[in-house]
Amino acid sequence: MAIIGRMRAALTGALTGALARLVGNAIALFTRFLTAARVNWIGTEPIPRQRLYFANHTSNADFVLLWTALPAALRARTRPVAAADYWLKSRLRAFAGRDVFRAVLIDRNPETRTEDPVALMCKAVDEGASLILFPEGKRNMGPERLLAFKTGLYHFARARPEIDLVPTWLQNLNHVMPKGEVVPVPLICSVSFGAPLHLAPGEDKAAFLARAHAALLALADQVEAPDERR
Amino acid sequence: MNGAEFSWLLNGVFLLLTLAWAGAALLRAWLSPEGQNVLVENLAARIGAWWAIATLLALAMLGGRGGVVVLFAVISFAALREFLTLTQKSRADHWALIAAFFVILPVQYLLVYMDWYRIYSVFIPVYAFLYLPVLSVIRGAPERFLARVGENQWGLMICVYAASHVPALLSLHIEGFESKGLLLIAFLVIIVQLTDTLQYAWSQFWGRHPVAPALSASKTWEGFVGAVASGAALGAGLWWLTPFAPAAAALMGAVITATGLFGALVMSAIKRDKGVRDWGQLVAGQGGFIDRLDGVLFAAPVFFHLVHIFWVTA
């Protein structure tokens, strides 16, 4: 009986995995069609190095766009860092978050959490993954171009200083799918990758976060038309 | 869609394109081995785009009128996406934008396919014009309201309304010219594309006075006059494709050319206003759909109406 149980579990796991891969490819294809995503490798190349991509965050579709912009081989090893409260809300979301995108799920509430988010990110990296992180910590709904960064990026950079930190600017997605909307508008989006950063020896938290913030804004200036800069 | 003219045209176009391609390859090897000669590179890029346009049109024609309507619906979609990516919008415009892409565009092409001229000729200029701002206004946000709804309407007029007049040419009922509408499309597209290039060549060799100095130094009055004359000559030379007499075909060629040239200039002004060099990046360095088709978009409704007024029997 135990053997049948184990076989059933293995079969379910294999099926879930296959379905997840299929759904993942379908989502990537759909996103390509919808956004006609333009991908600009400005400061770096799409090479198989372990990286943390840190990007601006205006829409729930952000990480799908970034994930779609990566070549398939890199995409297979890249996992988004995402909020557990959002992604575990329903079974469908849990399937998408855990199985399709294999998100590193973190608890945003410091009071209730049992595991340190940076420790979870380090664990994923030690298993060979690259990461996608939105250092603003929440979606930017206001008129500001880029919110202040939370400290997670710094703590990760200190814990894993050898990992490339790649600034990534996502353009136009807030128009494609504003907060609270369900149907996306098929405007052209772009994903731009800048030159990787690392924590400098002796650099303190505030200085590092300011440098990373400035690097992302400088990248945005390079790719956006003047009247889009708000 | 059969007929001697059609096979002549198809063979002729692909023969000329092959010659043009070979000529450009030779010029490239001779003058621009490193891609340094802007003129030669520009010509090579245009010839590449013509290959794509001719191949797509020929394939669509295999599908008959439905095929051509679907092809232009897809082109409209791509063009509208390029246009609306650059326009002003706010979150309150979300449903207006959705409606533009997923309601107005398909309905316009469906009306063209069903040949409901009295509706498709007013659907966007009247009904979209009046009702789309309503979708925006019920969501609030009066900031830049006129600019937002105005730019949205402009995008629809150029990328959907104007573009849909190309497949609409297929349903014009001209006595003695039944089911030969494809030849009119070929006449329009060939003249606009060739004269756009000829304008460039005329301006390079004889150009002195820029039409719009603040916009473009490569578009000159000499180039425009030369191109319109070339368009008239081309029109006369292609009269056998059309129901027009040679003199009327020449006049039509001149009108199409002038409209296409000034239309391309208008689209350049919008690009300049929005701070971009190209509408899109269909192929790296060669611009997007609108960059390749701006002249055709402007000339199509004018050509359609002229044929409708003077050649269509009630």
- Condensed to tens digits (0 to 9), the pLDDT of residues B190-221 reads 999 999 999 988 998 888 899 998 888 889 99
Number of structural domains in chain B = 1
- Whether residue A185 and residue B82 make contact (CB cut-off 8 A), yes or no, is no
Q: Which of residues 22-61 of A touch B (CB under 8 A)?
A: 36, 38
Residue B276 in contact with partner chain A when CB distance is under 8 A: yes
Residue B280 located in a structural domain: no
Category of B287 on φ-ψ map: left (φ > 0), alpha (ψ -120 to 50) or beta: left
Question: pLDDT digits over A77-129, tens only?
Answer: 999 998 888 888 888 888 888 888 889 988 877 788 888 899 999 999 999 99
Q: Sign of the C-alpha dihedral, residues A138, A143, A149, A150?
A: negative
Rounded to whole angstroms, the Cα distance separating B12 from B6 reads 10
User: What pTM was estimated for this model as a whole?
Assistant: 0.81
> Residue length, chain B?
314
- Whether residue B281 and residue A38 make contact (CB cut-off 8 A), yes or no, is yes
Question: Per-residue pLDDT for B239 more than 50?
Answer: yes
Rounded to whole angstroms, the Cα distance separating A140 from A179 reads 10
Q: Average pLDDT in the B168-174 region? A: 91
Q: Which of A175, A176, A183 to mutate to test the interface with B (most CBs of B within 10 A)?
A: A175
Question: Which amino acid makes up residue B157?
Answer: M
Q: DSSP for A106-163?
A: E---TTT-SS-HHHHHHHHHHTT-EEEE-TTSS---SS-SSPPPPTHHHHHHHHSTTS
Residue A185 contacts residue A176 (beta carbons within 8 Å)? yes
Work out the angle at residue B57's Cα, subtended by the Cα atoms of residues B261 and B168, and round it to the nearest 5 degrees: 70
> Tokens for B184?
């009119």
> Tokens for B134?
């309503």
Question: Per-residue pLDDT for B36 more than 80?
Answer: no
At the second CATH level, the architecture of A2-228 is: 3-Layer(aba) Sandwich (3.40)
CA distances from A229 to A47, B187, B234 (A): 30, 43, 46
Residue A208 contacts residue A200 (beta carbons within 8 Å)? yes
> Tokens for B1?
């869609």
Helix, strand counts (H, E) of chain B: 13, 2
Residue A221 in contact with partner chain B when CB distance is under 8 A: no
Residue B79 located in a structural domain: yes
Closest residue in chain A to residue B283, using alpha carbons only = A38
| Domain ranges, residue B161 | 65-171
Count of CB atoms within 10 A of residue A23's CB?
15
Question: pLDDT digits over B241-282, tens only?
Answer: 899 999 999 999 999 999 999 999 999 999 988 888 888 776
Backbone angles phi, psi at A177, to 5 degrees: -145, 80
Question: Which amino acid makes up residue B158?
Answer: I
The DSSP output letter for A38 is E
* Tokens 């060979």, located at residue: A128
Rounded to whole angstroms, the Cα distance separating B303 from B186 reads 12
- Whether residue B89 and residue A175 make contact (CB cut-off 8 A), yes or no, is yes
Residue B46 located in a structural domain: no
Outline where B91-128 has alpha helix (H). 94-99, 105-113, 117-120
